[in-house]
Amino acid sequence: MDFELIFRIYPYFLEAAWVTVQLSVYSILLGLIVGALITSAKLSRSRVLRIAGTVYVSVFRGTPALIQLFILYFGGPQIGINLDAFEAGVIGLGLNIGAYMAETMRGAIIAVDKGQNEAARTIGMGRFQTMRKVILPQAARLMIRPLGVNINAQIKATALVSAISVVELTYTAQRYIGSTYKPFEMFFLAGVIYMVMIYMTGLGINWLDRRAVIK
Amino acid sequence: MGLDFSVVPGFLDSILIGALWTIAITLSSAAISFFGGIFFAVISLYGHWVIRLPFRAFAFLFMGTPLLLQLFLIYFGLIQIGIDLPAFVAGIIGLGLHFAVYNSDIIKAGILAVDKGQHEGARTIGLSKGQTLRKIIVPQAVRNVVPPIGNNMIALLKDSALVSVIGVTELTLSAQLAISQTYRAFEFYVAVAVCYYIINLCLEYSLHLIERRIQISR
């Protein structure tokens, strides 16, 4: 292990890590919005919306995220979508994780006891009110952990955008492997940074989960 | 440039060959991840700490870093220490090890869920420790965890697209080769996405059959 090399180049890795953080945060936020929309579509009374939601989840979970990114970034210009690599990365990853998050959210909502829904409707609450005031507050607690798993996966999935040449952590590691022929050192450096990010996120999720426990 | 899907049939041959490679890579790394997962699970449950601790570190490292980075490490790292493997072998090893770590967690839970009496019973009738594990515990444990392992196999199929980055000519790279000749990215990537989707459906269906077949009637 060439520690001198590691000390010399770690600032570049930290710079790249910041890009990874931005990619993660933006795509996770987009994923949460998409997930919420798809979940509402799948739980709605309209058959068309339900089918659309099911198709979305099936297509985005049934094909590789890498291909989805390629279609958006390389194929986008052909249908009039011109994005730079970073934007394509955020949107592509966000749309992809949104499908997984939708399943997580739906699972949590379904897991809330049926009696809650029936009782709320019986005392005269509307469908929307029941969802907002009775079901969602309970489901939100159940969602925290599984969404944490999605978020953890997403941080690692940001490595994919190196394939559309966004200069993030994996791209930087790959470039330095090419120029220094020291794959172990580069892996070590990038790996430690990824693990710190995932560890910190894990702490955040744990904190949220503890706070959400009903006393 | 508008869309013109009529260019796709001309490259159907190379796309189908790519699809066969994707299937081959998925199946062989699935096999590695399955048996590796069992091996890792047994080590982390029963192994001596001298083996167990390095394994823990290895598992921690593989679960905390992106697969793509691991593929780079394995492909370029092996070359650096003098082992020059073809890219597809490196890809299979990388995918296999990555998912073996995830499978081992699931199988570990499965082993712990097997009734203790099974272990005691097997030892009582004179089976050795290794025999007990191999013939009594692991078969029951694996049966219990087929659904989550199946999910990992589906994830593996989709992640097999990543090995295109280290130059394995599977489905994704076969699309890229066609695009480099025709400059029609959208058409070919959509065509390839359809292939992945179909393979995915077939895989899901076979897993469903396997699940049904190995269910014990209780």
Q: What is the pLDDT, as a whole number, of residue A111?
A: 86
The CATH number assigned to the domain with range B5-214 reads 1.10.3720.10
Q: Which sequence spans correspond to the domains of chain B? A: 5-214
Of B2, B73, B165, Cβ closest to residue A183:
B73
CA A148 to CA A101: how far, in whole Å?
10
B172/A66 touch (CB, cutoff 8 Å), yes or no: yes
Within 8 A of A194 by CB-CB distance, chain B residues are: 64-66, 69
pLDDT for B217 beyond 60: no
CA A74 to CA B18: how far, in whole Å?
20
Within 8 A of B66 by CB-CB distance, chain A residues are: 156-160, 170, 194
Going by pLDDT thresholds of 50, 70 and 90, the confidence category of residue A197 is: very high
Please state the domain count of chain A: 1
Q: What is the pLDDT, as a whole number, of residue B116?
A: 85
CA A41 to CA A110: how far, in whole Å?
14
Q: What is the pLDDT, as a whole number, of residue A62?
A: 92
CA A45 to CA B85: how far, in whole Å?
55
Please indicate, yes or no, if residue A176 is contained in any of the structural domains: no
pLDDT for B159 beyond 60: yes
Going by pLDDT thresholds of 50, 70 and 90, the confidence category of residue A26 is: very high
For residue B190, what is the nearest residue in chain A, using CA coordinates? A71
Q: What is the pLDDT, as a whole number, of residue A127?
A: 84
Report how many Cβ contacts below 8 Å link chain A to chain B.
116
pLDDT digits (tens, 9 = 90+) for A110-167: 888 888 888 988 898 888 888 888 888 888 888 998 899 999 999 999 999 999 989 9
Residue B19 distance to chain A (closest CA, Å): 13
Q: What is the pLDDT, as a whole number, of residue A95?
A: 95
Which has the minimum average pLDDT: A3-7, A194-198, B103-107, B144-148? A3-7
Burial of B72 by CB count in 10 Å (0-12 exposed, 13-18 middle, 19+ buried)? buried
Whose structure tokens read 């690599």?
A85
Task: Tell me the average pLDDT of chain A.
Answer: 90
pLDDT digits (tens, 9 = 90+) for A54-101: 999 999 999 999 999 999 999 888 888 889 999 999 999 999 999 999
CA B129 to CA B121: how far, in whole Å?
12
Measured in whole angstroms, the distance separating CA B171 from the mean position of its chain's CA atoms is 16
To 5 degrees, how large is the angle CA A114–CA A31–CA A60? 90
Please indicate, yes or no, if residue A206 is contained in any of the structural domains: no
Please indicate, yes or no, if residue A45 is contained in any of the structural domains: yes
Q: What is the pLDDT, as a whole number, of residue B161?
A: 92
Question: Which CATH number belongs to the domain containing residue A146 in this structure?
Answer: 1.10.3720.10
Residue A75 distance to chain B (closest CA, Å): 4
Within 8 A of A191 by CB-CB distance, chain B residues are: 61, 64-65, 69
A187/B77 touch (CB, cutoff 8 Å), yes or no: yes
Please indicate, yes or no, if residue A197 is contained in any of the structural domains: no
Burial of B1 by CB count in 10 Å (0-12 exposed, 13-18 middle, 19+ buried)? exposed
pLDDT for B80 beyond 80: no
User: Does any CB of chain B come closer than 8 Å to the CB of residue A43?
Assistant: no
Task: Tell me the average pLDDT of chain B.
Answer: 88
A63/B196 touch (CB, cutoff 8 Å), yes or no: yes
Of A62, A78, A162, Cβ closest to residue B200:
A62
A71/B158 touch (CB, cutoff 8 Å), yes or no: no
For residue A175, what is the nearest residue in chain B, using CA coordinates? B72
pLDDT digits (tens, 9 = 90+) for A199-214: 999 999 999 988 887 6
pLDDT digits (tens, 9 = 90+) for A173-190: 888 888 888 888 888 889
Of A71, A170, A186, Cβ closest to residue B186:
A71
Q: What is the pLDDT, as a whole number, of residue B216?
A: 63
Q: Give the domain extent around A96.
A: 21-167
Please indicate, yes or no, if residue A184 is contained in any of the structural domains: no
ipTM score assigned to the predicted complex: 0.87
